[in-house]
């Protein structure tokens, strides 16, 4: 008596022909890779992605470095200018010589990278504002008055990326008023634009050189691979 399920059925010729042929599958896959994606295209796109990421990273680092250098320079210049203005404005503010105060503020505002100079009284009332009128109206904020006049602090703050420095003007312990000035970021912005354009041009040159190199290299890689595809296809068709 034969055991149930013990007999093995021999596949027919048609069923044997319909079985998966590994050689034919590999040939079709390699051919599809060659025609759809192409080794040269894959390498070119990979190279382009690497160059874009590298250029972008270098650009960001250079911009931050330029901003850090400019910020450090502005802070040092601000401390020196605040001390100089304290000495030159003390006497005219003590005698309320507004013409002299205006002349000093205008001269200071004419320096490179300086945008404006404001001089205000202990109550915050503006005496001079070179950004608008020489003899301005209005007042500074109460917070600034509290920190500069009452607490006699030098205040540094950044507004839209530009440094603003406020400092008391005093003779001994007597506070005669305050001075505030802001730096112009036009030169810094121009430097940042130059950095961006420089890296863009460098990136384009690198991309062109990389595309030429990838074309030359892939010509030597694709030919053997194409021969392998054709040989694999012939082997697969012969076994089918």
Which tens digits make up the pLDDT trace of 187-218?
777 888 888 888 888 888 887 887 777 777 76
Average pLDDT of the chain? 77
Tokens 């030098």 correspond to: 154
Inter-residue long-range contacts of 139-148, CB under 8 Å, 24+ positions, other chains counted: 140/166, 140/178, 140/180, 144/178, 144/180, 145/120, 145/178, 148/178, 148/180
Q: Indicate whether 186 pLDDT > 60.
A: yes
CA-to-CA distance for 207 and 195, rounded, in angstroms?
A: 18
Over residues 56-84, the mean pLDDT reads 85
What predicted TM-score, i.e. pTM, was given to this entire model? 0.60
Tokens 């021969």 correspond to: 227
């Amino acid at each position: 008596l034969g055991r149930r399920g013990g007999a093995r059925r021999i596949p027919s010729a048609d069923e044997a022909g319909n079985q998966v042929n590994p050689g034919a599958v590999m040939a079709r896959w390699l051919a599809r890779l060659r025609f759809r994606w192409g080794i040269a295209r894959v390498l070119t796109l990979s190279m382009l992605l690497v160059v874009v990421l590298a250029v972008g990273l270098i650009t960001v680092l250079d911009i931050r470095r330029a901003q850090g250098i400019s910020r450090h320079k502005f802070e040092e210049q601000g401390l020196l200018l605040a001390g100089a203005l304290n000495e030159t404005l003390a006497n005219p503010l003590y005698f309320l010589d507004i013409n002299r105060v205006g002349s000093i503020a205008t001269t200071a505002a004419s320096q490179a990278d300086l945008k404006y100079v404001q001089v205000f009284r202990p109550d915050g009332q503006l005496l001079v504002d070179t950004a608008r009128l020489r003899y301005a109206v209005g007042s500074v904020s109460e917070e600034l008055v509290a920190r500069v006049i009452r607490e006699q602090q030098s205040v540094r703050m950044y507004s839209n990326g530009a440094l603003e420095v406020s400092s008391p003007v005093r003779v001994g312990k007597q506070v005669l008023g305050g001075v505030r000035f802001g730096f112009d970021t036009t030169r810094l912005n121009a430097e940042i634009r130059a950095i961006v354009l420089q890296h863009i041009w460098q990136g384009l040159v690198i991309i062109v050189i990389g595309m030429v190199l990838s074309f030359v290299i892939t010509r030597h890689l694709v030919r053997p691979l194409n021969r392998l595809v054709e040989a694999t296809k012939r082997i697969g068709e012969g076994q089918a």
